[in-house]
Homo-oligomer: A and B are copies of this chain.
């Protein structure tokens, strides 16, 4: 093992995969990092792309650039189609077979519609850049259509936006949508008042931000309601369609629905026949290896892990990074023939979510921050974790500019595809003026 290089293959260039590769920087290992995108995405700020505050390029960086100077990493943009644990090879693209000595599964999670995949076209989730620009398109188109319609009921439907799921993503999205409607477009429309738009946040459980300390969930709810967001807890969505959302007997006519209610792990666990939890995550051992597969590890949203208190480790960026770093170090030791570290221990640093202008909730170990101070903390923490000087400068400037002017910097409706789902055909969108 010391004569031949130790080959580590990492699937997925999210937070977990990135940290695993980084932790192998000085190891006598050859690392292959495979992702179907060419970029690493800073998902915690993706909702700001969906609400026109930031551009995709502000929060995504080519994976190659990140590893430019780490010469033992080879980046491949390819679709993984299978894993052969017998020959220890990853199958990718049409014909690639990539041998490994150790394999790290960091393929993340995707939206789960709990068996109602037919809701996907009308209630998109928010995981990739394309999701964000799709939601941005729906949101902004709704205002444009509302300005054109003569029908009062249709106008109200167009100006109703529903977010399903009251976790951090749902709360941040609902807050940002309310701000977009109330502040970003004053005086720009002649026939409608965008501030009359209705934003509804639906949560099946009893409260929003269920994983946060209870008083912060209550604070977040108050902040949302002060911004005009209607927060419906204990409501289960029973239907999503082109004209709106159903919760049992109740119907909310809406043009734009966003799904932030549930995720399911990528199916990589099923490829290797691993034991999985309800959310499809692989039940890993304390060292994050897959039971029965000493050479295969799972990190981030692909892994089901318990912390020291027996509570599940949350599916967020810090947890994914910690797991990735842990496995990277473990494999660095293995490659060098050093003894392995003890089992993975999750350190919970805190929870944070922003609700809107000058409003955020932050729970650190023993500290609670809300309002303006929480908001500053939230902003600085997020800029800190962006990759590279350029993004930090650009995002800081965009935020400062938005803060001072109340405007949004990326209010673009883009995309050629005709909008399916809950959007009525829009005048002037599907066909080109020049080609009519």
Please give the residue numbers on chain A whose beta carbons come within 8 Å of chain B beta carbons, in ascending order: 11-12, 34-39, 55-58, 60-62, 64-65, 67-69, 74-82, 92-94, 96, 107-110, 129-130, 133, 140-141, 144, 147-148, 185-191, 266-267, 389-390, 393-394, 397-398, 401, 405, 407, 409-417, 425-436
B412 near A93 with CB under 8 A, answer no
Please, which residues of chain B bring their CB within 8 A of the CB of A69?
187
Knowing that A38-B413, A93-B148, A267-B436 are A-B contacts, what are 16 other residue pairs whose CB atoms are under 8 Å apart, sorted by A's residue number? A36-B432, A39-B413, A64-B188, A65-B407, A74-B191, A78-B428, A79-B432, A93-B426, A94-B425, A96-B427, A390-B398, A390-B401, A390-B405, A393-B401, A394-B398, A397-B397
Please, which residues of chain B bring their CB within 8 A of the CB of A74?
190-191
**Measured between alpha carbons, how far is A144 from B38 in the docked complex, in Å?**
8
B77 near A413 with CB under 8 A, answer yes
- Min Cβ gap A121→B in Å is 13
A265 to B, closest residue via Cβ: B434
- Min Cβ gap A8→B in Å is 15
Please, which residues of chain B bring their CB within 8 A of the CB of A133?
414
A410 to B, closest residue via Cβ: B57
Instruction: From B65, B190, B390, B405, give the contact of A188 (CB < 8 A).
Output: B65
Please name 21 pairs of A and B residues whose Cβ atoms are closer than 8 Å in the assembled complex, sorted by A: A36-B428, A37-B413, A38-B140, A38-B413, A55-B55, A56-B412, A57-B410, A60-B412, A61-B411, A62-B411, A64-B185, A69-B187, A75-B190, A77-B141, A77-B426, A77-B427, A78-B428, A79-B431, A94-B427, A110-B434, A129-B412
Please, which residues of chain B bring their CB within 8 A of the CB of A94?
425, 427
- Min Cβ gap A119→B in Å is 16
- Min Cβ gap A429→B in Å is 7
